[in-house]
């Protein structure tokens, strides 16, 4: 215990020393740049740039020819929101590089590069697949699938963040705490997303929670249609609750599945990658 | 485990329970007051209601809430390696009050009498789950003789509160689907609560929208309670205050 505390204070002292000075800043940026180029494997870099290329293409094509899938010209407001969404998701695909420019005392700087593989995949599924290719409307199950995948991947992301914190601060905690931490973060994000959708609809008059019945929603709403009360299932006004509950349920299912996978194989708490080794 | 070890374990567990009763009789009296309320409620329910349909599920609800008043004693019988065994007895003081408040709301119809009751209970639930999770972390620190960083001590309980809040909504949804219940306002019996006033005018008139408004109100109140708990843990982490020493140094 005492030894662990001493180690932590030594690390804290080292991090304090590494704060900004002119010489440090001069060294910091080239070092960060080198980390961005050398740390990820070449194939990983190629994968990231393929996804980024898709986003750049979508941004340019929306700007040059702002039409929806039906071929109608979209309004300028819709064009701007679509562009903003695509740019925000493109930034999500560059987060790891951004983190490398953070000072050493920031936990995000300690995240491994493969975390961005999953962030890029989620961004690609939601923004490019869902919005640009219009998969939400084409395939009713796409929204549920994205929620499921996001719920599962955020658990892994939370687990990675916890372990990065362990490495940075030089402490170790049981794997179960790290996994439950990831599970909590996943549920927190899922609920925050639904709250955002609700408030967005209230403020801007949008319909992200299916407040406005847009026509044939039988596909999107299908998941719980079989179990809904028969008389109520026909009422379009119910779609709002069914849509929200489907999202919440899929988030939860993904998170719980990921929890059990990590419980069976906590890859950062055993074997060669065990965090105890790195901290020691 | 051999027979002898099991016998010693059970004896030691009873010893801990009785030692608490001896050391703090007022606390145990407090617990038994709430247990008596539940027993009275259960007997009255059995006498006045038919035990079929909702009558039966109400009885199950009362019994489930009653078990919340015995949790600490139950945890004392767990092996030493379980974190729950390390929880302090005062956590049950709060769980008793919360169990009576939620179950009482159902039995005395408080959810319909006062429309703010449901929102209040959700906010309180969010707050209490954050504090309970903090107690769990402290129990872990004591068991493992370690000290977790502050960010974990705040974010872990908040995540757990959101986890519990979401599971509650999922449970309500499936309960309604399977038993034809109305916990999510499917049958439009109650009015929209806080967010009814923020609603768009044309939607406000549609009673069918109440289901979503009710669910979102619950989620928002849960989140508000959890955030309040997080602020409290950030400003006043009562087990980790300077001068009082770290949690792991104390013994249970």
Distance CA A202, CA A209 (A): 10
Answer whether residue A265 is part of any domain: yes
> Is the same domain home to B42 and B114?
no
Q: Is residue A245 part of a domain?
A: yes
* Average pLDDT taken over every residue of chain B: 81
Whether residue A171 lies inside any domain: the answer is yes
Chain-chain contact of A162 with B180 (C-beta, under 8 angstroms): no
Q: What pLDDT, on a 0 to 100 scale, did the predictor assign at position A47? A: 92
Q: Do B219 and A191 touch (CB under 8 A)?
A: yes
CA distance B188 to chain A (A): 11
Number of residue pairs across A and B with CB atoms under 8 Å? 115
Do the domain assignments include residue A125? Answer: no
Q: How many domains does chain A have?
A: 1
pLDDT tens-digit series, residues B103-159: 877 777 787 778 788 888 899 999 999 999 999 888 888 888 878 877 788 888 998
Q: What ipTM was assigned to the predicted interfaces of this complex?
A: 0.72
Q: Which of A194-198, A259-263, B99-103, B146-150 has the lowest mean pLDDT?
A: B146-150
Torsion of CA A249, A251, A252, A254, to 10 degrees: 120
**Region class of B243: left (phi > 0), else alpha (psi between -120 and 50), else beta:** left
| Least Cα separation, residue A70 to chain B (angstroms) | 29
How many domains is chain B partitioned into structurally?
Answer: 2
Which candidate in A8, A12, A184, A192 is best for mutational testing of the B interface (most B CBs within 10 A)?
A184
CB contact under 8 A, A177 and B160: no
Q: Do residues A54 and A124 lie in contact, with contact meaning Cβ atoms separated by under 8 Å?
A: yes
Q: Please tell me which of the candidates A174, A181, A241 has its beta carbon nearest to residue B211.
A: A241
Asked whether residue B187 is domain-assigned, the answer is yes
Under the banding of pLDDT at 50, 70 and 90, the label for residue B189 is: low
pLDDT at A49 over 80: yes
Distance CA A19, CA B199 (A): 50
> Is A257 a domain residue?
yes
Q: For residue A121, tell me if it sits in a domain.
A: no
pLDDT value of position B124: 92
- Residues B252, B170, single domain; the answer is yes
**Residue B35: count of CB within 10 angstroms of its CB:** 16
Task: Indicate whether A79 belongs to any domain.
Answer: no
Nearest by CB to residue A191, choosing from B165, B206, B212, is: B165
Q: What's the confidence (pLDDT) of residue B205?
A: 45
Treating both helix axes as pointing N-terminal to C-terminal, what angle do A175-204 and B210-235 enclose, rounded to 10 degrees?
Answer: 130
Nearest to A224 by CA among A247, A208, A246: A246
Domain of A154 in residue numbering reads as 139-280
Give chain A positions within 8 Å (CB) of B173: 245, 249
What pLDDT is recorded for position A227? 45
Nearest by CB to A252, from B159, B166, B200: name it: B166
3-state secondary structure of A254: helix
Is residue A240 assigned to a domain?
yes
Is a pLDDT exceeding 50 seen at residue A220?
no
Which comes out higher in pLDDT, residue B227 or A79?
B227
Q: Is B82 contained in some domain? A: no
Q: State the residue range of the domain holding B3.
A: 1-77+93-105
Contact, A102 vs A108, CB < 8 A? yes
């Amino acid at each position: 215990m005492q030894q662990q505390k001493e180690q932590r204070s030594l690390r804290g002292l080292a991090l304090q020393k590494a704060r900004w000075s002119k010489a440090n800043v001069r060294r910091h940026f080239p070092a960060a740049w080198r980390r961005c180029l050398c740390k990820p494997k070449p194939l990983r870099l190629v994968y990231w740039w393929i996804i980024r290329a898709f986003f750049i293409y979508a941004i340019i094509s929306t700007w040059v020819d702002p039409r929806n899938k039906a071929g109608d010209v979209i309004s300028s407001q819709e064009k701007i929101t679509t562009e903003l969404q695509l740019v925000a998701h493109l930034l999500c695909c560059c987060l790891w590089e951004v983190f490398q420019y953070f000072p050493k005392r920031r936990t995000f700087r300690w995240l491994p590069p493969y975390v961005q593989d999953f962030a890029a995949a989620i961004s690609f599924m939601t923004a490019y697949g869902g919005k640009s290719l219009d998969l939400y409307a084409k395939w009713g199950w796409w929204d549920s699938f994205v929620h499921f995948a996001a719920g599962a991947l955020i658990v892994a992301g939370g687990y990675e963040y916890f372990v990065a914190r362990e490495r940075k601060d030089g402490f170790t905690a049981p794997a179960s705490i790290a996994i439950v931490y990831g599970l909590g973060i996943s549920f927190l994000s899922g609920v925050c997303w639904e709250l955002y959708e609700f408030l967005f609809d209230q403020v801007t008059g949008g319909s992200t929670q299916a407040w406005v019945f847009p026509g044939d929603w039988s596909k999107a709403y299908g998941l719980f249609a079989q179990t809904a009360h028969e008389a109520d299932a026909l009422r379009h006004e119910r779609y709002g609750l069914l849509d929200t509950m489907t999202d919440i349920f899929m988030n939860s299912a993904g998170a719980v599945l990921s929890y059990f996978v990590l419980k069976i194989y906590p890859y950062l708490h055993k074997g060669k990658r065990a965090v105890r080794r790195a901290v020691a | 485990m051999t027979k002898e070890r099991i016998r010693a374990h059970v004896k030691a567990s009873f010893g801990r329970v009785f030692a608490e009763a001896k050391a703090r009789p007022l606390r145990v009296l407090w617990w038994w007051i709430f247990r008596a309320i539940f027993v009275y409620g259960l007997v009255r329910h059995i006498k006045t209601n038919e035990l079929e349909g909702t009558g039966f599920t109400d009885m199950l609800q009362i019994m489930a809430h009653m078990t919340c008043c015995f949790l600490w004693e139950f945890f004392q019988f767990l092996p030493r390696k379980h974190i729950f065994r390390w929880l302090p007895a005062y956590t049950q003081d709060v769980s008793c009050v919360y169990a009576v408040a939620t179950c009482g709301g159902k039995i005395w119809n408080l959810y319909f009498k006062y429309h703010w009751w449901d929102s209040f209970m959700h906010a309180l639930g969010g707050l209490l789950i954050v504090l309970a999770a903090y107690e769990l972390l402290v129990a872990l620190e004591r068991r493992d003789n370690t000290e977790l960083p502050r960010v974990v001590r705040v974010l872990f309980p908040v995540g757990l509160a959101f986890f519990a809040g979401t599971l509650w909504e999922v449970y309500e949804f499936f309960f309604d689907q399977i038993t034809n219940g109305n916990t999510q306002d499917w049958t439009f019996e109650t009015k929209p609560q806080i967010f009814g006033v923020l609603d768009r005018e044309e939607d406000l008139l549609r009673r069918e929208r109440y289901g979503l408004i009710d669910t979102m109100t619950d989620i928002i109140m849960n989140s508000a309670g959890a955030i309040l708990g997080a602020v409290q843990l950030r400003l006043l982490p009562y087990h980790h205050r300077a001068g009082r020493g770290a949690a792991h140094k104390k013994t249970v």
